[in-house]
Chains A and B, each alone.
Chain A
Amino acid sequence: MIAEFSQVVDWAGCSIRAFAWHPHTSKFAVALLDDSIRVYNTNSATVPILKHRLQRNVASMAWKPLCASILAVACQSCVLVWHLDPTSLSTRPSSGCAQVLAYPGHSPVTSLAWAPSGEMLLSASPVDTAMLVWDVSTENCVPLQWFGGGGVTYLAWSPDGSKVLAATPSAVFRVWEAQMWTCERWPTIKGRCQTGCWSPDGSRLLFTVLGESVIYSLSFSEYSGEMQGQVGGSKTASIVADLSETTFETLYGEERIGGEVHSMVWDPSGERLAALIRGNPETPESRTIVAVFRTRNSPVFELLPCGFLQGEPGAEPQLIAFHPCFKKGALLTVCWSTGRISHIPFFFVSAQFPCFSPSHSPVVALSSSSASVREQPLFSEL
């Protein structure tokens, strides 16, 4: 069941099961097939390995924002919250550092989301109709119940903290507003909502539906605290990109690319969108590929194709994530089926959110776990 709803393409078989960047520093955690978690840090050579008796079938991980080193892990039976000491040199933190958050009927946990302000943790399970709001420090939780639609498969908290996307196993998804916790219900036509991502200001949601190879966009009215308990979504979602299968003439011959989007991430500056496109299972030559788009959210929404990413021969992308605070543009991390993790930087100057301290030195140097990537020529002018 976890494999069905996971954001990883082949969760059951891939050696990397989950990946999470720390929201403020260059540190990330990788969950492996043997249920251990490794934490890599660019500034230190020690790689702590986290193991716990209850850490089984890790489906998702999330670092607590506004905090040095607290990692929430979605496991088979519970949510584990690791309190790691960032200055410690030990490679095997004891299981005493982990807090166990369990709730009857809430397993397996497949999705986690921290509030961007760091106060609350949301956890969801496809079999539990309630998603839980945790106050992690006191281990109190509030179940947010609704009826119909089954459990919750995927959670995404908008970066401004005002809204939460909750996808269900049926053909409906919900958007909660995070102040009074009321929700708006969105039926989809064909299948369940597979993935979704928020624009940085929380005013636009891009999502995809299982069984359709298009990206939908849903805009929300400008958020202000005065409208309590209103989600403020527009009436209908519009199609912004059609990713159905097409043929490309390349140097290496004809390539067929396109299909359903399995997972989708938006870079924190709102300039790049990466979509993991799963090929058509019927045609053997079509394969899984990462498509990158250039985006702009204001004054009008724009989505322009930018390029494709492919790995070594035989390597298929499994999981994608953007670095949350890459100063010189955007940094996309791709986990491949071979077990490699590669970081692909995109250098540009953001038009909307110019950096407060622009240009230190234009050095590319962020490839912490070694990776050799054959990149398609990528151009990101602007």
Chain B
Amino acid sequence: MRAGGEEQQALLRQVLGWRVAASIAWSVLLLPLCTAVFISISSIDLFHPIQWISNSFNDWYTSYVIFCILLMSVVILIISIFNVEFYAVVPSIPCSRLALLGKIIHPRQVIHSVVHAIMGMLVAWCAAVMTKGKFQFLALPCTASESLDGAVQHMCLNEYHLFLLLSGAFMGYNYSLLYLVNNMNYLPFPIIQQYKYLRFRRSLPLLVKRSCVESLYLVRNVCVAYYFFGYIPRAWISTTMDLNTDSKLHPLDTFTGLLDLSLLYHTWLCGIFLLITWHIAWLLFKIYATEAHHFPVQPTFAEETDQCLPKILNSNPPLIIKFLALQDLMLLSQYSPVRRQEVFSLSQPGGHPHNWTAISKECLNLLSDLTQKLIMQQEAAATNGRVKQPSTGELGRSLSSSEAAVTEEMAFQTQRSNVVSRAHMPSLVKSSLLPLKALSTSDLGSSFGSPFSSPALNRKAGILDLNSPWHGSVQSPHVMRRGPKLWTSSSDLQMNGSHQASFPVISFARVGNEAIQPSFIYTWLQNKQEQVRSFLSKRVLIMYFFSKHPEASIQAVFSDAQMHIWALEGLSRLVAASFTEDRFGVVQTTLPAILNTLLILQEVVDKHFKLPHASSKPPRISGSLMDTSYKTLRFALRASLKTAIYRITTTFGEHLNAVQVSAEHKKRLQQFLEFKE
């Protein structure tokens, strides 16, 4: 297990390592350019343009500036390290305000904020030094103290410098806060493939524009904050560094003091500089990290087996690797006939379609996981009284009726629908579904083996079945059908607050092995939680924090839908390509399973969009720098699911009638064939 983990880490390092290095290198290389522009603009002098240009040329080479660039390179490096540490391919969406608050005061985030505030201060210091003029030093000789003995000159605090430093810290903290709130750590994958340079160039104008506007708001906020609280840091610095206050100059925390145009302009420029350099580092990391990676389908050397696509899909790699692998699957299924041929090929000694088996198995697993998740969510919505109960029951019945119709050869399909109808149990049994998943995987393996009808394989599958805790229930539908009833009754009892309800649970648990034991505790905990929540919900303030935003919780369900979209696209394109390219017919054996999974998912997704809380249209997206595509993933999923089914039906056409699927699905397929969905 540990060895596997290390392998995964090595793979992650291998895939992501050079990308991170390249992105950091580029953002550091772009830093002198930004600095040069900053220096020129900050010393702008429209009345003497020639002098201005020659001055700024000279300024670029001063030792101050070079030191500042070095210092800021370190800052960029640290910012990039934070970007790498905090990135996520699946955004975390806080469902209530309390969750958001919890995220803000989470130690990880606090460290993030503090470091960013310090970095902001460093950048502001560099900006102040490079701006020169009245901003350059923190301490200046006092102008007021006309001391008679010139030997002892008093040093006074330069409040402009302090203001700039504090605004830098404020901006850094604000950046960190927005980073969290806007999910800037989320890596959105682009809808079209493009070269990195073009992607960067495309985003650059928007980045500059957004940074300017954001900086403007930040300056306003800094001014307000300084007006009210400015005296605290000023007094503190003055006392610790033993500096006097210059009595001739206006203190800055007054109205007139803050109305200094040059101060505001330079603070604004400093904010722009800070935001642009940091955003560039962030953007470059995003572009590099989401670039398509080419995983080999067939290993050319023995040591490469861990890096080839089927292996990666089937292992449990870091999410980013999984995303990249699925993206590569989608791309190869779309663009590369040569690599598709490798997917359809048979293994050399033995003649097994290992590549296709592994890939399709993983895709189907992903999709049926999503189906289960959605059913569970609908179930939860139904128990909350928003939706009538029969709707889900109907699906279950239809599935069990289809169960009766299928023949022995379709054992795979039967078990699959078992899995789904099992998922109709109340959502309380989440943990007990885990062994089921393992079971479905093993079944899948056996069904893949079956066309080659090797008895050894079948026996092996049988053994696997016996080992699985659900052996009994899968074999006899009797027990299975009784299962849900038991569960609902027990949970009903528990709703009444009686602890005796534990008895039937345990008795059932004995039937189904100990795998269920944790779910009882889970049930009890959830019950308690529910009680506490209902008690607290009567208090308005707490309600404000606890109230779940329906849109957010739906977004949370679909937060990793990008994976499923790619799986759908990759699978459907491969199946469509197999119509002409699959010489050995390896895809045909799994076609019923694929169609079944897609149609069940389609049914569930349709139902999901009919839930009262789900809006049927994506919200308007303003042209912002932040990517909010995760908010609309469910619409993309719905569209690509439909396209995937249509892709298969239009390619195969009438031949689909020969595929063995249940009567209900046949009807559904017919509708797709007639373009009536």
A135 contacts B676, C-beta separation under 8 Å: no
B338 contacts A226, C-beta separation under 8 Å: yes
B336 contacts A226, C-beta separation under 8 Å: yes
In the complex, whether A99 has a CB less than 8 A from a CB of chain B is yes
Chain B 566-581 interface mask (CB, 8 Å, partner A; 1/0):
0001000100000000
A137 contacts B191, C-beta separation under 8 Å: no
Q: Which residues of B268-313 are within 8 A (CB) of A?
A: none
B337 contacts A224, C-beta separation under 8 Å: yes
In the complex, whether A25 has a CB less than 8 A from a CB of chain B is yes
Please, which residues of chain B bring their CB within 8 A of the CB of A119? Answer: 569, 640, 643
Q: What's the dominant secondary structure at chain A's contact region?
A: loop
Chain A 20-34 interface mask (CB, 8 Å, partner B; 1/0):
001011000000000
Please, which residues of chain B bring their CB within 8 A of the CB of A137? Answer: 618, 632, 635-636, 638-640
Distance between Cα atoms of A157 and B208 in the complex (Å): 34
Stretch at the interface among B91-99, B192-200, B656-664: B192-200
Question: Shortest beta-carbon distance, B671 to chain A, in Å?
Answer: 9
B621 contacts A140, C-beta separation under 8 Å: yes
B675 contacts A25, C-beta separation under 8 Å: yes
Question: Shortest beta-carbon distance, B560 to chain A, in Å?
Answer: 15
Chain A 86-126 interface mask (CB, 8 Å, partner B; 1/0):
11000000000001000010000000000001111000000
Tell me which of A68, A69, A104, A179 contacts B623 (CB under 8 A).
A104
Please, which residues of chain B bring their CB within 8 A of the CB of A145? Answer: 202
B642 contacts A67, C-beta separation under 8 Å: yes
Please, which residues of chain A bring their CB within 8 A of the CB of B335? Answer: 179, 225
Question: Shortest beta-carbon distance, A30 to chain B, in Å?
Answer: 19
Please, which residues of chain A bring their CB within 8 A of the CB of B490? Answer: none
A68 contacts B632, C-beta separation under 8 Å: no
A99 contacts B617, C-beta separation under 8 Å: yes
Given A138-B632, A142-B190, A225-B338: A182 in contact with B643 (beta carbons within 8 A): no
Distance between Cα atoms of A180 and B198 in the complex (Å): 10
A68 contacts B675, C-beta separation under 8 Å: yes
Please, which residues of chain A bring their CB within 8 A of the CB of B618? Answer: 137-139
Tell me which of A135, A143, A224, A229 contacts B202 (CB under 8 A).
A143
B676 contacts A87, C-beta separation under 8 Å: yes
Q: What's the dominant secondary structure at chain B's contact region?
A: helix
Distance between Cα atoms of A66 and B647 in the complex (Å): 6
Given A119-B640, A140-B632: A68 in contact with B676 (beta carbons within 8 A): yes
In the complex, whether B125 has a CB less than 8 A from a CB of chain A is no
Please, which residues of chain A bring their CB within 8 A of the CB of B194? Answer: 142, 180-181
Please, which residues of chain B bring their CB within 8 A of the CB of A236? Answer: none
Question: Shortest beta-carbon distance, A49 to chain B, in Å?
Answer: 20
Chain B 173-214 interface mask (CB, 8 Å, partner A; 1/0):
000000000000000001111110010001000000000000
In the complex, whether A357 has a CB less than 8 A from a CB of chain B is yes
Shortest Cβ distance from B201 into A: residue: A145
Given A120-B191, A224-B337: A139 in contact with B675 (beta carbons within 8 A): no
In the complex, whether B633 has a CB less than 8 A from a CB of chain A is yes
In the complex, whether B603 has a CB less than 8 A from a CB of chain A is no
Total number of A residues with any Cβ neighbor in B under 8 Å: 35
Distance between Cα atoms of A67 and B650 in the complex (Å): 10
Please, which residues of chain B bring their CB within 8 A of the CB of A140? Answer: 191, 621, 629, 632
In the complex, whether A309 has a CB less than 8 A from a CB of chain B is no
User: Which among B192, B569, B573, B640 has the highest number of chain A CB atoms within 10 Å?
Assistant: B192
In the complex, whether A133 has a CB less than 8 A from a CB of chain B is yes
Question: Shortest beta-carbon distance, B332 to chain A, in Å?
Answer: 8
Chain B 608-631 interface mask (CB, 8 Å, partner A; 1/0):
000000000110110100000100
In the complex, whether B677 has a CB less than 8 A from a CB of chain A is yes
A139 contacts B191, C-beta separation under 8 Å: no
Please, which residues of chain A bring their CB within 8 A of the CB of B635? Answer: 137-138
In the complex, whether A136 has a CB less than 8 A from a CB of chain B is yes
Question: Shortest beta-carbon distance, A15 to chain B, in Å?
Answer: 28
B191 contacts A224, C-beta separation under 8 Å: no
Please, which residues of chain A bring their CB within 8 A of the CB of B226? Answer: none
Distance between Cα atoms of A87 and B202 in the complex (Å): 42
Given A137-B635, A224-B337, A224-B338: A67 in contact with B646 (beta carbons within 8 A): yes
In the complex, whether B588 has a CB less than 8 A from a CB of chain A is no
Q: Which residues of A131-160 are within 8 A (CB) of B?
A: 133, 135-140, 142-143, 145
Please, which residues of chain A bring their CB within 8 A of the CB of B640? Answer: 119, 137
Distance between Cα atoms of A67 and B677 in the complex (Å): 8
Q: Which residues of B634-656 are within 8 A (CB) of A?
A: 635-636, 638-640, 642-643, 646-647, 650, 653-654
Distance between Cα atoms of A282 and B192 in the complex (Å): 47
* Pairs of residues from A and B, 9 with the lowest C-beta to C-beta distance, nearest first: A225-B335, A137-B639, A225-B336, A138-B632, A66-B646, A137-B635, A135-B191, A68-B675, A137-B636
Residues on A lying within 8 angstroms of B by beta carbon are: 22, 24-25, 66-69, 86-87, 99, 104, 117-120, 133, 135-140, 142-143, 145, 179-182, 224-226, 229, 356-357
A to B CB contacts below 8 Å, 19 in the list:
A66-B643, A66-B646, A117-B643, A117-B647, A118-B647, A119-B640, A133-B191, A135-B191, A137-B636, A140-B191, A140-B621, A142-B190, A142-B202, A143-B202, A180-B195, A181-B193, A181-B198, A225-B338, A357-B654
